Amino acid sequence: DTAVSQTPKYLVTQMGNDKSIKCEQNLGHDTMYWYKQDSKKFLKIMFSYNNKELIINETVPNRFSPKSPDKAHLNLHINSLELGDSAVYFCASSRGLAGAYNEQFFGPGTRLTVL
Amino acid sequence: RKEVEQDPGPFNVPEGATVAFNCTYSNSASQSFFWYRQDCRKEPKLLMSVYSSGNEDGRFTAQLNRASQYISLLIRDSKLSDSATYLCVVNGYNDMRFGAGTRLTVKP
């Protein structure tokens, strides 16, 4: 069984479109995250939710909106896609909050290409 | 100064070599430290946590120096399968910072 799953794995779309990426974890973790990894391979936190509550919201354009219907799911919706949004987006989960020694488990990533 | 800095490499070493990576961080209030490994076009995976007393896991040894604000990873007897990018992770309270990674290639 996949611990952290994301769909879709690949997403190719035109500028200006709206798209969503879904993430689910079956580990029973309380905390979930979205990361963006750009072409230079730099991995940067975007959002973090703990028990469906937003706890980290980095400086991300408000075109990006996370939604957590329950603690096993954290979806990412992106409005008005731009060329600079092209990247790999990783979802992750951990047992507790960041700051403690909680291992993060990552999904396989969604490779977004905006044309 | 970047919050978490790593030498990007690449480090190209022969099999059997010993290689060491360092990672410096700027936030003195950081609470937990990790090394993750990321293979090409794959997700990051935890290699090991880094504790104040230093810790070892087989061929891998991690050290933390809070006074100088750096962590290190030592790999002994390198294997071909160690080829990957090694990411340093530094966490504070509800704050996680990844380094840009150090690329290691182990050659026959």
Model confidence pLDDT, tens digit, residues B61-70 = 999 999 999 9
State the pLDDT at residue A39.
83
pLDDT, tens digit, 9 for 90 and up, residues A29-79:
999 999 999 987 789 999 999 888 888 778 889 999 999 999 999 999 999
Identify all chain B residues contacting A100, using CB atoms and an 8 Å cutoff.
Answer: 31-32, 91
Identify all chain A residues contacting B87, using CB atoms and an 8 Å cutoff.
Answer: 43
**Average pLDDT estimate for B9-32:** 94
| Nearest CA among A39, A29, A46, A38 for reference residue A103 | A29
C-alpha count within 13 angstroms, C-beta hemisphere, residue B76: 7
